[in-house]
Chains A and B, each alone.
Chain A
Amino acid sequence: MFYSMMFAALLAVSAENMFLSAGMGFSRVLRAARSPRGIGPASLFVTFFSFCSSVEGYFLFPLLPAEGEKAAALRPAVLACAAAVTYMAAAFVLKSFFPGFYEKNSRTMQLSAINTAVLAIPYVQNSKGFGLAQSAGFALGSGLAFFIASALAAGGAPSCENPDMPKAFRGLPASLIYVGILSMGLAGFTGGPAF
């Protein structure tokens, strides 16, 4: 069980990297990269909420319609509601018992809890046929993948502001092209889009 969990975590960091291979949650990655000190807490929150999302997905998916229009409409809505409840419960507990911590990290927590990468976990585990241990491993690996993607984006940020490049390309445009090149490198390893 431990090995399958670790293998799933390795997949999440490498070949099935949701952030660099598929661009999921990338707006959060770029935001975290703007303040490198916040990357650690953001990654921990992503790991926690990804884990919660994987558990919710594991128990909710079998109860939801599997195919057709009903599935396309209901599954995302129910899983998003479950994520909303998880976020509210976590926010309530932190605000009530650790108000200082909550005040300092509420925005980071919010952006880490509500993003496409965290809500994609149940779909990924369903499409790959993961069990609970593998799902948990994938969720943990996703937190690490978020950390790596944010660190790479933060590391490339000074180059993306290089005054030698045309003014219009400085900042976000250069960051997007830089991320595109990183993503192309990963696509070369996986042989195609991961999701």
Chain B
Amino acid sequence: MRDKRFIRRAAGTIFANGFLFRNPVVIGALGMYQVVSACYSLKNAAALSLLFLLTAMPAGLVMCLIGMALPDWSRPGAALAVSAMFYIPAVYILEAVLPGAAGSLGFAAALMVCNSAVYSRVEEYAPSHVAAAVVADIAGNSAGFAAAACVTAAVRELWLSGGLWGRQAGDAAGGFSYPFAGFMILGILAALVQWINSRRREKYAEKKGR
């Protein structure tokens, strides 16, 4: 019972780290290409977030099982090949949920297979951790990626068309859909998360001081 509670609490901490405190995009500076170049509509952000989860979760679990059995020099290549293998069913599921999304996202969807945030979880984290931790970590990182992607997309879509969920995937228009706007919004988001982290550290130090 106590073990179960401990695992649940540890999983919660791992999830929260991936989602906010060590967000892969705004703190880790990983997986930025998809966010800056394609997240100018919420539909794009939702499609990419789903693709992230569907590729990283099974690939992470496979690498958790076999990762440590592989020689060090081959692990990065194996992680990429395993991600590629799970990318195929991920695209079919994405097409079933959001028809036409994978095709219209073009490069951004295709390059999700080697997204650095996916790769870092699958190659660096998964082989050296237990399955429960891997699931919590990838769920947290997927939620973190989705949060960064959706906030960036929402700001840009509101600016571009004055509404949300209206733009078609791959339908770029206007300066705010260009990557530079994505970088700037990510910069402001990163500052916000850094501010939250520093407040958290101050509160922790106060508590310890008492």
Q: Which residues of A contact B (CB under 8 A)?
A: 21-28, 30-31, 67-69, 71-78, 80-81, 83-85, 87-88, 91-92, 95, 102, 106, 110, 113-116, 118-120, 123, 166-177, 179-181, 183-184, 187, 192-193, 195
> Would A187 and B191 count as touching, CB distance under 8 A?
no
Given A91-B73, A91-B76, A167-B194, 16 further pairs, Cβ under 8 A: A23-B36, A27-B116, A69-B95, A76-B113, A77-B85, A77-B113, A88-B77, A110-B76, A116-B116, A171-B194, A172-B29, A175-B187, A176-B29, A176-B190, A183-B180, A187-B179
Considering only CB atoms, which chain B residue lies closest to A182 in the complex? B180
On whether the beta carbons of A177 and B76 are closer than 8 Å, the reply is no
Q: Is B159 an interface residue (CB 8 A)?
A: no
Query: What's the dominant secondary structure at chain A's contact region?
Result: helix
A180→B184 contact, CB < 8 A: yes
Q: Does B33 contact A180, Cβ atoms closer than 8 Å?
A: no
A39 to B147, CA, bound (A): 31
Q: Mark B154-195, 1 if CB is under 8 A from A, else 0.
A: 000000000000000000100101111111101110111011
* Contact residues in A for B186 (Cβ distance below 8 Å): 176
In the docked arrangement, what's the CA distance between A75 and B87, Å?
10
Name the CB-closest residue of A to B189. Answer: A173
Q: A167-B198, A180-B187 are in contact. Are A85 and B77 (CB under 8 A)?
A: yes
Report which of B27, B76, B114, B116 forms a contact with A80, defined as CB distance below 8 A.
B114
Interface residues of B (CB under 8 A from A): 26-33, 36-37, 72-74, 76-78, 80-81, 83-85, 87-88, 91-92, 95, 102-103, 106-107, 109-116, 119, 172, 175, 177-184, 186-188, 190-192, 194-195, 198
Report Cα–Cα, A93/B32, bound state, in Å.
32
What are the nearest 9 A-B pairs in CB distance? A180-B183, A176-B187, A80-B84, A88-B77, A177-B187, A173-B191, A73-B91, A184-B180, A183-B180
B188 engages A22 (CB within 8 Å): no
Q: Supply 11 A–B pairs (Cβ within 8 Å), ascending by A.
A: A22-B37, A23-B36, A72-B110, A76-B87, A85-B77, A88-B78, A92-B73, A166-B191, A167-B194, A168-B198, A169-B191
A160 (CB) vs chain B CBs: closest residue: B187
Are B114 and A27 in contact, with the CB atoms below 8 A?
no
CA distance A163 to B1 in the complex (A): 49
Smallest Cβ-Cβ distance to B105: which chain A residue: A72
Residues of A within 8 A of B87 (CB): 73, 76-77, 80
- Contact A84-B198, Cβ < 8 Å, known A69-B95, A73-B102, A95-B73: no
CA distance A71 to B177 in the complex (A): 26
CB–CB A80/B80 < 8 A:
yes
Closest beta carbon of chain A to B149's beta carbon, Å:
13
- The residue that A177 contacts in the complex, of B26, B33, B184, with Cβ under 8 A, is B184
A170 to B187, CA, bound (A): 10
A77-B88, A116-B114 given as contacts; is B177 within 8 A of A84 (CB)? Answer: no
Residues of A contacting B84 in the complex (Cβ-Cβ under 8 angstroms): 76-78, 80-81, 84
| B174 to chain A: closest residue by CB | A192
